[in-house]
Amino acid sequence: MQKKSASPKPHGAPRMAQHQVRIIGGAWKRSLLPVVDALGLRPTPDRVRETVFNWINHQLGGDWADVSVLDPFAGSGALGFEAASRGAASVTMIDSHGPAVRQLEANRDKLKAGNIGILRADALAALRDMAARGQRFDVIFLDPPYQQELLAKSLPLCAALLKEDGMVYAEAEAILPLEEGGETPEWLQGWELVRADKAGMVYYHLLKLHKNKT
């Protein structure tokens, strides 16, 4: 949630409504997209998205042209639309909530985003099905609802879905215990922490599989 500011907006800056997200980079920079008002839906804040996409851009060497992206808990679509705006070859968004899916489709159509595919499905079931069909991605966004252990259930499934040198962005309500010398939970074993940071109550991480992990 953005903090209110007494300072005036810069001339020409779009006015943010309560249920909107703003694309911050790429071809659709500054575009405002409506978001459904749904329980547990919390678009990734601008500040976090800017940092995360700087991390990913560095890992990719700035080249999104051949990048395939999966966003299995799409919600507002803020992360997926951001990747598509920056030129990702394909972005697959998944959500189980009907109104959210319809809004994602409307926003895709508004942007004429031919590189975005949208699927209404249970995220965990979809991850298993995609792995079984041999689908692979360069970047996977994991931003599930909190307090449901969905990150612990979905991250292990991503190991079979990543291309070589692929990466996972994971957002959580607490820091992931991946520091060297600490005790790593079973669901985090095999993962390497590339970058991590915190903004307010949001903890966000960029992960890769250890090189010896198959």
14 assigned to some structural domain: no
**The two structure tokens encoding residue 123:** 């995220």
The pLDDT value recorded for residue 40 is: 53
54 assigned to some structural domain: yes
The CA distance from 65 to 174, in Å, is: 33
42 assigned to some structural domain: yes
The CA distance from 203 to 197, in Å, is: 6
Handedness of CA 6, 10, 15, 16 (dihedral sign): negative
Spatial CA neighbour of 171 closest among 194, 208, 201, 131: 201
pTM of the model: 0.87
Domain residues for the domain of 26 are: 20-209
The tally of domains found in the chain comes to 1
- Is the Cβ–Cβ distance between 175 and 167 less than 8 Å? no
The pLDDT value recorded for residue 181 is: 56
Domain of residue 77, CATH code: 3.40.50.150
The pLDDT value recorded for residue 4 is: 37
Task: Report which secondary-structure segment, H or E, holds 130.
Answer: helix 123-132
In tens digits, the chain (214 residues) has pLDDT values of 333 334 444 334 444 445 889 999 999 999 999 988 765 566 788 889 999 999 999 999 999 999 999 999 999 999 999 999 999 999 999 999 999 999 999 999 999 999 999 999 999 999 999 999 999 999 999 999 888 899 999 999 999 999 999 999 999 988 898 766 567 889 999 999 999 999 988 899 999 998 764 4
214 assigned to some structural domain: no
35 assigned to some structural domain: yes
Place of tokens 């799409």: 74
8 assigned to some structural domain: no
4 assigned to some structural domain: no
87 assigned to some structural domain: yes
Decide the pairing of beta strands 68-71 and 90-95.
Answer: parallel
The pLDDT value recorded for residue 164 is: 93
